[in-house]
Structure 1
Amino acid sequence: MRNGDRLTDVIVVATADFELYHEAVRELRERGLRITTMEPAEIGPNGGGLPAETTVVIATADDRVDLGARGEVSFVAADPSDPRAAIDEALATLRGDEGRTVVEIDPGPQPGIAVLVDDVVIAAFQVPLPEVSAVVAEEVADAADPLVRVGDGDRLKGTRIIADLEDVGGRDGALTVELVDETGTTPYLGRGARGASDLLAAVNVARIEGERVERREIDPTEGEIRRIQDESRRRSNGELTVGEPLARRVAAGELTVEEAVAVKRGDGESDR
């Protein structure tokens, strides 16, 4: 961004594609950014007609926008089927130095995920545990030296998440994972905010330095073993309970509860 203040910059949305136009305008306005909309034909040769403060122009290749010698203006060639990618690219251009991407995960019942760049929240998700690694992979795919911080509030879910992140990497193949003490990060929720605690905790944890980890090895307590066994009964509709050896593999992140139930049923291995 120029002069360190994104409010001095203007993003021009100049596309004839209906869906791209409305999605880009809606999301950019929600983020409080200055935008201008133009018809592609209103932009003359060499970017003639653009506002003087223009930093980014979002359009498709078919819109045939000519920026010519306007080297201070970046062109984002949007894919109409993926407006989000164009918006993210425009925001990265405003940031200028492509600040570090930090992803925080609060491993609650429905893990909350916050994605920050230069301490600005650019995306947030709340998804089932098995989907966490896929969301992280998509968010860091084009990031240089991304950092993932996992809260330590739920040891079992956190261990599973860290194990699932082993094969996830950023643009350069490097993914740093930190385990963060999330004590005190869950905020008080006032009226109308119920259900947002995991997301807000994720944002708070993203700003806390943690301990770098590659794998998390825990010695599960008797209570944690019982929780896994109770969950196995629930997932199998009361048909079976996994033994302690399988429960320990779940606690270590080697298996999900569903996989442990399948093993117990004899789908490939004995209960060991």
Structure 2
Amino acid sequence: MFSVLRRVQKGHRKKVSSGRKLGIITKDFALYYKAYKLLSERGIPVYHGLPGDPIPLDVGIVLTSEEDAKYIDHPVKVVVRDDAPLEKYIEMAIALLGSKGSPEHIVIGIDPGEYPGFVVLSNGRILNAKNLKRPEDVGSEIKFFLNKYSPKTCVIKIGNLGGIYLYRILKSLVGIKARVEIVNEYSTSFKLRKTSDVLAAIRIAMRSGKEINVEEELNRMKIPDGVLKDIQRKSRLISNGRVTISRELALRVALGELSINEAIEVMLKKKDLRNSAPTRGH
């Protein structure tokens, strides 16, 4: 175990003008050492602590490991995973050290996916950044921030490459009073999608998009037949060939109403009922 660092030496470059610190909160000494070295080279003020320690108010962003993240209570966490070099996460953390600003106007950027990237910006400052657990959580998350900040205006910007996940996100936005735009990701964050959903969401939030009516867009969109067939194929594989879920259940899985395992259980129960039903004439 190593001690908590309250101060760090100055880097060779000039420190960022905001004066806010970047916190490295982790028990992983190797991660701390590598991250501290990269941040010091860039002149970023650093605070180091352990999961569970009180985090000073001047720590604007927390960099941590996937194992430690669940023990850290902070609104903006950058969780380092093995899917990209550490430098990418350092880049993200530095980008999140925003300038001061009043949240009278907020922009919400969303990178569609199984675990959507989600950011809230105001006047160039990132108020929150995270990955959500499922597409359906986007609507409730937006309502939370609208209630928290009561902004005069709000623009929701969503990437256009989400497929079925985009559909599920749009469903969660029904009834939310805000301007909604679809942003062409081919010209913005497409290359970032493999390394960071949150970075992609930041890029999306900073680009202009095409305004849409959510209800009209949902009526226009159709779930591709290939998506439903792929879900049925996966159900057959997961159940070891015991059952293939129906098209109706596959649609509910695609819409996020059921997990594929729940749909398999429904089909198995139906199959058991059919097998246990008495045969006519006996």
- TM-score (norm: length of structure 1): 0.53
Residue matched to 1:47: none
Alignment partners' CA distance in 1, 2:210 and 2:229: 29
Specify every segment of 5 or more residues in structure 2 that has no aligned partner in the other structure, as ranges: 1-16, 21-51, 64-72, 77-96, 271-282
Secondary structure of 1:166's counterpart equals coil
Which is further off, 199-208 or 225-234?
225-234
Letter in 2 for 1:26: V
Q: Cα distance, 1:159 vs. partner? A: 0.5
Aligned to 2:211: 211
Tell whether 2:253 aligns with 1:247.
no
Q: CA deviation at 1:125?
A: 0.7
Cα deviation for residue 103 of structure 1 reads 1.2
Match of 2:143 in 1: 137
> In the alignment, is residue 160 of structure 1 matched against residue 168 of structure 2?
yes
Q: Identity rate of aligned residues, in percent?
A: 27
Distance in 2 (alpha carbons) for counterparts of 1:108 and 1:209: 18
Deviation at 1:197, TM superposition (A): 2.5
SS in 1 for 2:189: coil
Deviations 1:109-154 (A, max 9, x none): 4221121112432221113215632433333323423222222212
**CA separation of 1:28/1:220 partners in 2, compared to 1, >3 Å: closer, same or farther?**
closer
**Residue matched to 2:111:** 106
Bigger mean CA deviation after superposition, 129-138 or 204-213: 129-138
Gaps of 5+ in 1: 1-6, 11-18, 31-81, 86-90, 268-272
One-letter amino acid of the structure 1 residue matched with residue 59 of structure 2: R
Question: CA 1:157–1:200 in 2, change beyond 3 Å: closer, same or farther?
Answer: same
How far apart are 1:157 and its partner, in Å?
Answer: 0.7
Matched, 1:24 2:57: yes
Aligned residue number for residue 197 of structure 2: 198
Q: For the structure 1 residues 183 and 101, does the alpha-carbon distance in structure 2 shift closer, same or farther, using more than 3 Å as the test? A: same
Q: Alignment partner of 1:141: what SS?
A: helix
Report the TM-score when normalising by structure 2.
0.51
Which aligned pairs between 1:179-194 and structure 2 lie closer than 5 A?
179-186=182-189, 188=191
**Aligned-CA RMSD value:** 4.2
Q: Distance in 2 between matches of 1:106 and 1:227?
A: 23
Aligned residues: 189
Asked if structure 2 preserves the Cα contact closer than 8 Å seen for 1:187 and 1:197, the reply is no
Match of 2:158 in 1: 150
Q: Any residues of structure 2 matched to 1:1-272 within 5 Å, and which?
A: 22-27=55-60, 94-96=100-102, 98-130=103-135, 132-133=137-138, 134-143=140-149, 144=151, 145-166=153-174, 169=176, 174-186=177-189, 188=191, 196-206=195-205, 207-215=207-215, 216-217=218-219, 218-233=221-236, 239-251=242-254, 253=255, 255-258=257-260, 260-261=263-264, 264=267
Q: Which amino acid aligns with 2:158?
A: V
